[in-house]
Amino acid sequence: MSEEGDPAARREAERQLEVMRRGTLEFIGEDDLRPRLVEALEADRPLRVKLGMDPSSPDLHLGHTVVLEKLRTFQELGHTPIFLIGDFTARIGDPSGKKKTRPALGAEEVKANAETYVTQVGKILDVDSAEIRFNSEWMSRMAPEDFVRLCSHMTVARLLERDDFSKRFKGNTPIAVHEFLYPFVQAYDSVMLEADVELGGSDQTFNLIMGREIQRAYGQKPQAVLTHPLLVGTDGSEKMSKSLGNGIGLLDAPEEIYGRVMSLSDTTMLDYFDVLGAAAKAGFEDLSSEREAVAGGGGDPLALKQELARRIVLRFHEGAAATRAAEHFRRVVQQGGEPEDIPCLEFALGARSEVGLLEVVVDLGLAASRGEVRRLVTQGAVQLDGERVSDPLRALSSGCYRLRLGRRRFAQIEIVAGPD
């Protein structure tokens, strides 16, 4: 092999690098990756591309698809996608972007959440030809002296350069010692996986760069890092998060996905077009003129939003579901009616005579969290049998109830006496 590499391999490397750049905010280490990619193409050896996610909740959301789509792009380029489930790091709690210490999760909660991830990732990634790994494979076996050695490769001053740590330190907001350990573990994952590339959101930049430094410390070539924009939630302000009630889950019903997209402001809708369109396989290039017209204050924002909602539903559900979701939105939201088919759900009281509304709603999967239910009640957006609910802890005894949550969620609930 010549010093510069085979011309055909160099051309293909440049083509692939261009594809990799699409939709990214930063491509750190591109110049280092270029010769490695040429060598890999000549040897017919795929790059190892890492994307890690902690099972801190049971549901992945639309924001996660930005980096998942990029991982799929690498897979289509012939490289090895590694989806790393951070079952060990989830028990530390990722401090990225947090203004206060994030509670660590228990082992059973992490396990239950992780069980759903592979199925959800399979909606985007070909999991049969991907590596699905768990970082407990190596972290749970790491000896204390090895962990001390790992932590010796970074100074406290360097850690405090990280934006969220720096702000909390200057604001006298507590930083727990275990939070400093999170970036070390994420970086060591790259060592154990021998990653050539790692993907992540812009809030992960420090951790991703730290992976490069720790790989060097362990005698490996540093991974390239591709960061991507964060998708804002349906509230138009905070990063998308199911716990904040502003997420669109991959497992959400078609009607819920469609309705949440339709609730976006016009400005947030345009952001979705840009962020999701850049990451998605097909993008929204055929709607570029309509998008520009709306951005300029003209066009038809409602029609564009309807098309965005339709395409997002189609990404995760079959074609007829998008049509049903659009009809549901028209009848329930725009015309103030009720859906044709309201699900009937049963909740068993066990040995109790009463149960709180909040517990029923969350346990039946009608809301992502208790916090979301409380917010809806505060907003006057929860009704039982047509009457507005003012207390999220309202006690319910055995019987049938017609529940409405927000503008789009309905359920017929039967609370029955007897065992769970």
- Considering the chain, what percentage of its residues have pLDDT values greater than 90? 52
Q: How far is CA 278 from the centre of its chain?
A: 16
> How sure is the predictor about 34, in pLDDT bands with cuts at 50, 70 and 90?
very high
pLDDT of residue 101: 53
**pLDDT surpasses 60 at 97:** no
Please report which confidence band the pLDDT of residue 55 belongs to, taking 50, 70 and 90 as the band edges: confident
pLDDT of 28: 97
Q: Is residue 86 predicted with pLDDT exceeding 80?
A: yes
What was the pLDDT predicted at 124? Answer: 92
Do residues 247 and 282 make contact, with C-beta atoms less than 8 angstroms apart?
no
pLDDT score, position 282? 57
Note the pLDDT tens digit of each residue in 348-369.
888 888 899 988 988 888 887 7
Residue 103 has pLDDT above 70, yes or no: no
Please compute the mean of the pLDDT values over residues 25-48 and round it to a whole number: 96
Question: By the 8 A CB rule, do 207 and 199 touch?
Answer: no
Over residues 90-110, the mean pLDDT reads 65
> Which of 215, 67, 208, 189 lies closest to 136, judged by CA?
189
**Which range (137-146, 236-245, 291-300) has the least confidence?**
236-245
Average pLDDT of span 237-241: 88
Task: Tell me the mean pLDDT in the region 6-16.
Answer: 94
Residue 146's CB is within 10 A of a number of other CB atoms, namely 12
pLDDT range class, residue 2, cuts 50, 70, 90: very low
| 31 CB neighbour count, 10 Å cutoff | 9
Sorted by where each starts, the structural domains of the chain and their CATH numbers stand as: 7-228 (3.40.50.620), 252-334 (no CATH), 344-416 (3.10.290.10)
Question: Is-above-0.75 flag for pTM?
Answer: yes
pLDDT at 147 exceeding the cut of 50: yes
Given a cut of 90, is residue 145 above it in pLDDT? yes
Q: Which residue has the higher pLDDT, 339 or 412?
A: 412
Q: Which residues contact 73 (CB under 8 A, 6 or more apart)?
A: 19, 20, 22, 281
Average pLDDT on 36-42 reads 96
Q: Please compute the mean of the pLDDT values over residues 219-237 and round it to a whole number.
A: 95
- Encoding tokens for residue 130? 């991907």
User: Is pLDDT at 1 greater than 50 in this prediction?
Assistant: no
The confidence band for 188, taking pLDDT boundaries of 50, 70 and 90, is very high
Q: Give the residue-averaged pLDDT of 240-262.
A: 87
The whole-number pLDDT of residue 405 equals 87
The predicted pLDDT at position 62 comes to 94
Secondary structure E strands in 120-275: 131-134, 197-201, 224-228
Sheet strands (E) in 282-364? 344-348, 355-356
pLDDT reported for residue 417: 83
**Model pLDDT for residues 295-333, shown as the tens digit of each residue:** 999 999 999 999 999 999 999 998 899 999 999 888 888
Mean pLDDT of the chain: 88
CB 10 within 8 A of CB 4: yes
The per-residue pLDDT for 280 is 62
Q: What is the mean pLDDT of residues 63-76?
A: 95
Encoding tokens for residue 131?
């590596």
The residues near 335 (Cβ < 8 Å, ≥ 6 apart) are: none
Q: Which of 178, 179, 231, 181 is CA-nearest to residue 203? A: 231
d(CA 33, CA 303): 43
CA distance 256 to 89: 31
Tell me the average pLDDT across 383-389.
89
